Amino acid sequence: MVDESCEEILGAGRYIRLVRQRGWEYAERLNATGIAAILAVTDDRRLVLTEQYREPVRKTVIELPAGLVGDVQGEEHEPFAAAARRELHEETGYEAAEMAYLTEGPPSAGLSNEVITFYYARGLRKTGPGGGVGHERIQVHEVPLREVSTWLRDAAARGALIDPKVFTGLYFVTMP
């Protein structure tokens, strides 16, 4: 059991706070219970990816569709799979017939207390424009799986960063 009594709040904003505990400094996400990342593959074997500018790295980033769980007012206890469905539709315009749990883990255990839960979305049907909500300006890419390595290499060559979670997703697509 972790002793919370030695936790010191170093600073806080609307969405995160910086904490020091037993000499370790890290970020905590506020107003969310986790993150859902979606490996979305169309029936014709296209991987659905998103691209958007990310201020902390000052570049566009190629990512799996993903988003916060429990961040919607009144839905603080939403199931992770429901958040995955919501985020998939908001970001890409796709709805999934099936949302299957894959795995979970910390993306940066030395910096943040975040845990990402991965889902595999199948039976996709385009029902909206995607692009995100509010200030988000998300571009959706549907990349044939047989071309994804070249496509990602080309995206990196034009200056985009590739989120390593994309490669985590590809691992699950290529597993026997």
Q: What is the per-residue pLDDT across 77-133, written as a single tens digit (0 to 9) for each?
A: 899 999 999 999 999 999 999 999 999 999 999 899 999 999 999 999 999 989 888
Average predicted confidence (pLDDT) for the chain: 92
Which range of residues forms the domain containing residue 18?
1-30
Judge whether 161 and 155 are in contact, CB under 8 Å: no
Q: Could you tell me if 25 and 44 lie in one domain?
A: no
Q: How far is CA 89 from CA 40, 42, 121, 133, 140, in A?
A: 11, 14, 11, 10, 11
Task: Encode pLDDT of 27-70 as tens digits.
Answer: 999 988 999 999 999 999 999 999 999 999 999 999 999 999 98
Residue (of 80, 86, 156, 148) closest to 118 by Cα position: 80
Q: Which among 68, 41, 52 has a CA at the least distance from the CA of 130?
A: 52
Res. 17: pLDDT tops 90:
yes
User: Could you give the number of structural domains in the chain?
Assistant: 2
**Same-domain status, 63 and 140:** yes
One-letter amino acid at 68 equals L
pTM given for the model: 0.91
Q: Are residues 72 and 103 in the same domain?
A: yes
Same domain, 38 and 66: yes
The predicted structure's pLDDT at residue 104: 96
Q: What is the rounded CA–CA span in Å between residue 120 and residue 41?
A: 8
- pLDDT score recorded for residue 83: 95
Phi and psi for 29 in degrees, rounded to 5? Answer: -80, 135
d(CA 131, CA 82): 19
Tokens of 170: 């590809």
